[in-house]
Structure 1
Amino acid sequence: MKKIINILLLTLCVHPSWAQFSANGSIEFTKVTSVKMNIQVEMGEEIEKNEYMKDYVKQLPKTKSVFYKMSFNKKQSHYFFDKDGPEKVPLWGGKDPASENIVVKNFSNNTITAQKEVYESNYIIQDSLPKYKWKILDEMRPIAGYNCRKAITTMDDSVVVVAYYTEQIMVSSGPESFGGLPGMILGLAIPRLYTTWFASKVNPGIEMGENEIKKIKKGKELSNEKLFKELQPKLKEWGKYGAAILWKIRV
């Protein structure tokens, strides 16, 4: 996973002196998941016992990319699925859960509203903004033309999250539910999920038009805690793979 992060950083970085200070604009993110490694680690024993699963894993690409966009200002950020990457991933059990999320963070009342599709069920999460306990480090890296500082936190004291944020974008937000740092998160890695998110382009001062932003549809409304309680019994029998799916949904 560390190798994947370094490769992505080298690919997506632009000289940081080009960056501007801003409190509104739009960002394009690329999410990359090591799908083959993920399923081999989480379902290793099951794969060895099942010839169908062995053949399925052979068809998987090493990585899969998904593209997202975000429009933001001081009042809110609106993050949403844009399109899938070019990699061909054979479907197994349907679309990857929570891969086409829409996440709206309201900074005026500290709330988050998120649309997440999980196995053909559409959920609308309404909750307060998550409060992550970040440890801010001295390490700096350039991402998409911005100087970014490294920070680390954990989800439920078990899943490590590494973020790179910039104070040059004066909005405390980032991909999915993440935020709570003194600036915008432009890089994110969750080794437990073999997944990274990195900004590929930032448009400072240029917000997206209403017709460009995907809106939240109707669905079953509940909190993050209630969603977890509803899905946990259904995914528990899937072992490590089911636990990984729960984490994907929770981010």
Structure 2
Amino acid sequence: MTTITRILTLILIGVISSVNAQDFQGVGTYRTHRDFDIKMDSTKMNDAMQKRMMEMMKKQFQKTYTLTFDKSSSLYKQEAELDKPQVGGGFQMSFGNSGSDVFYKNIKLRTYVDQKETMGKKFLIKDSISPIEWKLESDTKHIGEYMCFKATYTKQVPKVNMNFSSFSSVDDDNEEEKEPEMTERTITAWYTPQIPVSNGPAKYQGLPGLILEIHDGKLTVICSKIVINPEDKIEIEEPMKGKEVTQKEYDDIMDKKLKK
């Protein structure tokens, strides 16, 4: 598809969509999963236990979220779920949020409110939405009934080496703090101008249409269902419970807790 044809297609779809966008609302169901590349010490954990551990960790990241949205705001919330499977001996690993977290975005005011419950304490993270320098690509594909376009951007992220083969007994407080090694990551999004909102799951936003699919490193987020203008009117309310902090203040608090 040539650039001119693509632009004309986007404009046409946008015009058609905007005509039907009065009092526009929607509900999207998103599912997430994460791939793992973890090294484990075979002398301390047999093959069967390693396999069970890997399967359990994968299931911890297989979550379902609901994105309720209108033209200017959205709420992204994890659906309630049963307890995750346990490893032998009753040991259970838990990653991510507890299911009570709510992420609110106001794309018109370019602000967000992230209500989190971490280590038994509720936080209300309020901050500005950072602009994403998306590169619009020429690739297209269908997700369900929606024509989607590809967009990418790159960012610097800390390089993480998940190695369970050994655990250091050295007191980290006595070690000189080192800057984390950084690496470049390309994030890929698929968005549809047929749904005229510059929004998406979690913090992803800023494209000329709703984001239906995200590939961010080993994390994949895919929309499995969308209901446009449901019969029951949607109420999108900013979360209010928790200690109010900025994103940097919250990151500093979590960094100190992890070091302890």
Cα distance change of structure 1 residues 133 and 55 upon mapping to structure 2, 3 Å threshold? same
- 1:146 Cα offset (Å): 0.8
With structure 1 as the length reference, what TM-score do the two structures score? 0.69
**Residue type at the aligned position of 2:213:** G
The residue that corresponds to 1:148 in the other structure is: 148
Moved more, 225-234 or 140-149: 225-234
1:77 equivalent in alignment to 2:74: yes
**Residue type at the aligned position of 2:102:** I
Question: For the pair shown, which has the larger CA radius of gyration, 1 or 2?
Answer: 2
- 1:207 Cα offset (Å): 7.5
Q: Which runs of 5+ in 2 are unaligned?
A: 1-15, 158-183
Conservation of the 8 A alpha-carbon contact between 2:30 and 2:64: yes
Cα distance change of structure 1 residues 103 and 222 upon mapping to structure 2, 3 Å threshold? same
Cα distance change of structure 1 residues 54 and 27 upon mapping to structure 2, 3 Å threshold? same
- 1:130 Cα offset (Å): 2.2
Cα distance change of structure 1 residues 52 and 126 upon mapping to structure 2, 3 Å threshold? farther
Higher helix share: 1
Runs of 4 or more, structure 1, over 6 Å off, are: none
C-alpha distance in structure 1 between counterparts of 2:223 and 2:96, whole Å:
22
C-alpha distance in structure 2 between counterparts of 1:229 and 1:176, whole Å:
21
- 1:61 Cα offset (Å): 4.6
- 1:132 Cα offset (Å): 1.2
**Residue type at the aligned position of 1:26:** G
Q: Secondary structure at the match of 1:177?
A: coil
The correspondence for 1:203, drawn from 222, 227, 249, is 227
- 1:143 Cα offset (Å): 1.2
Instruction: Give the percent of matched residue pairs that are identical in Structure 1 and Structure 2.
Output: 25
With structure 2 as the length reference, what TM-score do the two structures score? 0.67
C-alpha distance in structure 2 between counterparts of 1:93 and 1:48, whole Å:
20
The residue that corresponds to 2:86 in the other structure is: 90
Conservation of the 8 A alpha-carbon contact between 2:107 and 2:199: no
**Residue type at the aligned position of 1:96:** F
- TM-superposition CA deviations, 1:49-95 (whole Å, max 9, x none): 643997365252584321111221122112211233x7943386754
Conservation of the 8 A alpha-carbon contact between 2:151 and 2:189: yes
Q: Over the residues paired in the alignment, what is the CA RMSD in angstroms?
A: 3.3
C-alpha distance in structure 2 between counterparts of 1:151 and 1:236, whole Å:
37
C-alpha distance in structure 2 between counterparts of 1:171 and 1:82, whole Å:
23
